[in-house]
Amino acid sequence: MSGTYTTSRIVRAVLSAADLSKAVAAKAGNLGEVRAVAVGKGALSMLKGLEAVADIIDGVAVAPQAGPVPRSVKLYVADHPIPTERSFEAGRAVLDYVESLGRGDTLVLLVSGGASSLMEAPLVSEEDFLKAWEILLKSGMTIHEMNAVRKRLSAIKGGRLGHIAAARGAEVVNLIASDVPCDNPSDVGSGPGVPDDTTPDEAYLYLKVRGLWGRLPESVRRLIESRRGSRDTPSSFPHRAVVVARNLDVLEALRNAVGGRVVTSCLVGEARDVGRLVAYMAKELGTPLILGGEPSVTVRGRGRGGRTSEFALSFALSSTGELAVLALATDGLDGNTGAAGVWADPELLRDIAEAGMDVGRLFEENDTFRPFEATGRAIYTGSTGSNLNLVFYVDRWSHLKDLLAGGQIQEGQI
């Protein structure tokens, strides 16, 4: 069995549940006239939802791709997962816009995953900022650890943007699509509009423990050192924060559609370790199991791979019998693969061996996508306009095969 299964019902079930325009429209409440800043992979979808329930006077949107926005909103297309000059331009534009607000204004911040990279105003040189960013991105740090560092280097993140608006007398409302495990608003997009719950000392500790401190540019180390023992980001200011969409919502919708047990939406750790863990959980607990979260990948090689392929290949090495897994990124783009996800079935390892691939070498080079691409076990959706973390569905292969082919989902349950 091979193919991309872009239109399979299980994939459509996940993506329908991750629709951010519907989530915003359902949970934003009565906001009246608003000024809007929408940033992230879901910016355009979230704006569409806001437009359905509020009168958007004007605003700024920052997204990784062009698309329709309200006539009064200026769109900036920027870059992810590594910021570029377009991200810095967008950051300056958002900062200028928020600084123009005043008493009587309601600022709605629509924040979704990817916002950290798409919008930035560095407190060190752009060159040093980008050097630090790349070190963090390849480090295998959790999103909380990574964002604790990023907030120290930004004029926007860690609540600074929301604090500016509140200090000028504007009402600050955050509508958040969570792409972080356990849905801490301060971790989504590095928390531009909510009070910060991290400190410079915490960032310093994470960097030292991970062995990264000495690799950072001197200007970055000097900035963090100078703030130790104090707070450099706002710990409180008037605001509202509503998590309008989260990974757990997607997992529960999938359970309603195909059955199974929702185990957790908070999976973290190295994707290859988590894949092995989930394989053993399935042996003990039985199937179907539905899980989600944000495992990380420490980049050691130059291959093509992402969290879904590292997870699924590791799962295959540790599973037995008829166990199979679907691993899917709700944003539609995992790592540097161009794919939304992959699946692993009981025949995968045999197909890899017949193709002459060395699994150990694939892991060493972070080239774990290659076997899935070569054997037709990759799923392509393109950018979905959402970002609610990863979804993992574990079941017997005979059942998952039917779901991939489009069967056994109850219409109307999504």
pLDDT at 411: 31
Q: Measure the CA–CA gap between 254 and 252, rounded to whole angstroms.
A: 5
pLDDT at 413: 31
Instruction: Tell me the chain's radius of gyration from C-alpha atoms.
Output: 21
pLDDT at 8: 83
| Secondary-structure breakdown of the chain: helix, strand, coil percentages, each rounded to the nearest 5 | 45, 20, 40
pLDDT at 9: 80
CATH 3.40.1480.10 in the chain: give the residue spans: 259-405
Q: Which CATH superfamily is domain 20-246 in?
A: Glycerate kinase, MOFRL-like N-terminal domain (3.40.50.10180)
pLDDT at 405: 82
DSSP symbols for 108-139 = EEEE-TTHHHHS--BSS-HHHHHHHHHHHHTT
The answer regarding whether domain 259-405 maps to CATH 1.10.150.120 reads no
CATH 3.40.50.10180 in the chain: give the residue spans: 20-246
Q: Measure the CA–CA gap between 76 and 66, rounded to whole angstroms.
A: 8
| pTM to 2 decimal places | 0.91
pLDDT at 140: 85
Q: Which residues of the chain have pLDDT under 70?
A: 1-7, 406-414
pLDDT for 347-370, tens place per residue?
A: 999 999 999 999 999 999 999 999
